[in-house]
């Protein structure tokens, strides 16, 4: 997947003269401690590449890696749950204002390929992998860009993926993202 992202970035550089191209990077981290031995934490890293087809419409290709860890302890046992997910997405973005505006709210929709892994570790026992199902899912979201200069913006977004489950149902996976974007 990282080779594909490199290829797309190379392609964007070579086509930057034909259309407006935007590169975005975002990062998120959260940790909550309940006491010295009970906590949960999450980390998300994302990269995106947008090709503006028209002034208000862009095709965004994105890749997101997420990690979640939860540790629970009581008087007799310890359990650690670790989950990772990789999401490769393609969305159409519609900017709700003029592209020259400093504040640019947007909506987006498309599809994503989602891979998940989950592992449970018990103290003094073998680790157990939870079966997961990879697959294509619809995605949508909202966001806001604030232009710092003509080339750089701060970007906030909220994305939702309808993730397939093993039993045939779907669940909503969500991500709040904050980052920077750069117009080439």
Query: Residue holding tokens 């998120």?
Result: 28
User: What pTM was computed for the model?
Assistant: 0.79
Q: Domain range spanning residue 58?
A: 2-183
Structure confidence at residue 131 (pLDDT): 80
Alpha helices of 67-115 — where are they, by DSSP H?
none
Instruction: Please report, in tens digits, the pLDDT of each residue of the chain (184 residues total).
Output: 555 445 444 544 544 445 789 999 998 888 999 988 899 999 999 999 999 998 899 999 999 999 999 999 888 888 999 999 999 999 999 999 987 899 999 999 999 999 999 999 988 788 889 888 888 999 999 999 999 998 999 999 999 988 877 777 888 888 888 899 998 8
Structure confidence at residue 1 (pLDDT): 52
Distance separating alpha carbons of residues 68 and 45, to the nearest angstrom: 12
Q: Mapping DSSP to helix (H, G, I), strand (E, B) and coil, where does residue 97 land?
A: coil
* Counted domains in the chain: 1
Distance separating alpha carbons of residues 127 and 80, to the nearest angstrom: 9
Distance separating alpha carbons of residues 109 and 131, to the nearest angstrom: 28
Structure confidence at residue 2 (pLDDT): 54
Q: What is the CATH number of the domain that holds 116?
A: 2.40.160.20
* 19 strand-pairing partners: none
Q: H or E stretch including 7?
A: helix 2-14
Structure confidence at residue 5 (pLDDT): 46
Structure confidence at residue 76 (pLDDT): 82
């Amino acid at each position: 997947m990282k080779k594909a992202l490199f290829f797309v970035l190379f392609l964007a550089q070579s086509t930057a003269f034909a259309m407006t191209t935007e590169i975005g990077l975002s990062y998120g981290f959260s940790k909550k401690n309940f006491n010295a031995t009970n906590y949960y934490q999450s980390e998300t890293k994302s990269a995106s590449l947008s090709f503006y087809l028209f002034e208000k419409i862009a095709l965004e290709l994105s890749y997101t890696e997420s990690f979640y860890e939860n540790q629970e302890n009581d008087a007799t046992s310890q359990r650690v749950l670790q989950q990772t997910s990789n999401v490769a997405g393609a969305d159409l973005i519609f900017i709700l204002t003029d592209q020259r505006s400093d504040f640019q709210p947007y909506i987006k929709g498309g599809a994503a390929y989602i891979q998940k892994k989950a592992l449970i570790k018990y103290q003094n026992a073998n680790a157990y992998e939870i079966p997961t199902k990879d697959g294509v899912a619809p995605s949508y979201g909202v966001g806001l860009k604030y232009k710092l200069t003509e080339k750089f913006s701060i970007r906030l977004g909220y994305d939702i993926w309808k993730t397939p489950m093993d039993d045939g149902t779907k669940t909503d996976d969500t991500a709040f993202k904050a980052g920077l974007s750069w117009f080439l």
